[in-house]
Amino acid sequence: MIKIVLEDDRSLRLLQVVLDPRAPADMRAAYADYVAHDVDLTQAIAQLSTVAPRLFPASVTLVKDQAALRQALPGTQVLMMETLHVGHEELAAAPDLRVIQCFGAAGSGVDVAACAARGIAVRTQRRRTNVAVAEHAMALTFALAKQLPFINGLVTPQRLAGRHQPLRAFDTRHTPNANWARVGGLRHLNEMTLGVLGLGEIGSEMARLAHGCGMRILYHQRHRAPVATEQQFAAAFRTLPELLAQSDVLSVHLPLNASTRGLLDAGALAHLKPGAFLINTSRAEIVDYAALVAALDSGRLAGAGLDVMHREPADESDTLLDRANVILTPHLAGGSRHNRFRDFSEMLAGINTDLG
């Protein structure tokens, strides 16, 4: 059997179930249930086996960190990773390594030159889930700018009156009848400024979409991106206070860790441009809950679109519910489970080819 070392990430871990018949039964059952609303796991595995027959079955070892990676590399032919690093030390421990598959489009954690010198193929994957998250973030942005939660169904005089806005007809002998409901405050994204907090895999996809809408793109992250990346997405770096003060829309695309937990607290949100929108499809804990509510109550935040909640499922007592300027979705920005299996199909087919 081909030996595969797999970074122990909750997204990548599914590949152990796909490839290794010795995967724990409880893990297999958990993932079968996790994908069931979109995908039949047994059928998906059978289909994947046809595109990568050299990999079925495989011996899959999960590793959580660099030390575990180096220990597992001897005898390994394939490494599949997302955040780990591969340099000279790791390559020295992997005399049989033939393919490195990065679960992402960047591949920045791999010494590509050293791999090329060894004849090791390095593959990347533009993840469909990342594209879907960016699409969802843009959808939330559009919905807030166009006030879709407020105006949905607002097409009869009775419903208009129910919003305390009785119909006042225009004099259409002279004027058009556009916006006969007289909804004020509508915005258009063209020429608005998007602040991307984290120009990584998903933040870059968000910048790509927003740039296509004619938005000005600013970003902030711990380390400034290469000039080529900034040029690719027409993005300009700002400090965090500058980003907050200059953005009409702030979209959060950071991982949750000790340095980002509570990053957007009351002090940070005080720098927000008045009337801005906040979009969070990353992790709820990056934004302090009380500070978020206060910013909405004060009007500094004109609205928020959140795919992640501090409690999932949320409680009916959550003060964010039933606000016309807050859109809440149940952590589904990643889209269909089919996205993951399409990515797996491309990755496994490529690895199968590289193994010769």
Residue numbers annotated as active site: 283, 312, 331
In the chain, alpha helices (H) = 14-19, 25-35, 41-51, 66-72, 88-92, 112-118, 128-145, 148-151, 157-162, 201-212, 227-232, 240-246, 266-269, 289-298, 338-354
Encoded tokens for 292: 């978020």
Encoded tokens for 356: 């010769």
Give the Cα separation of 239 and 70 in Å (integer). Answer: 37
Give the residue among 35, 55, 53, 54 at the shortest CA–CA distance from 44. 35
Cis preceding-peptide flag for 313 (omega within 30 of 0):
yes
Helix axes 201-212, 128-145, angle to 10 degrees: 50
- Residue in the structure block whose two tokens are 């608005």: 192
- For the chain, how big is the Rg over CA atoms in Å? 24
Number of C-beta neighbours around residue 108 at 10 A? 13
Give the Cα separation of 107 and 350 in Å (integer). Answer: 16
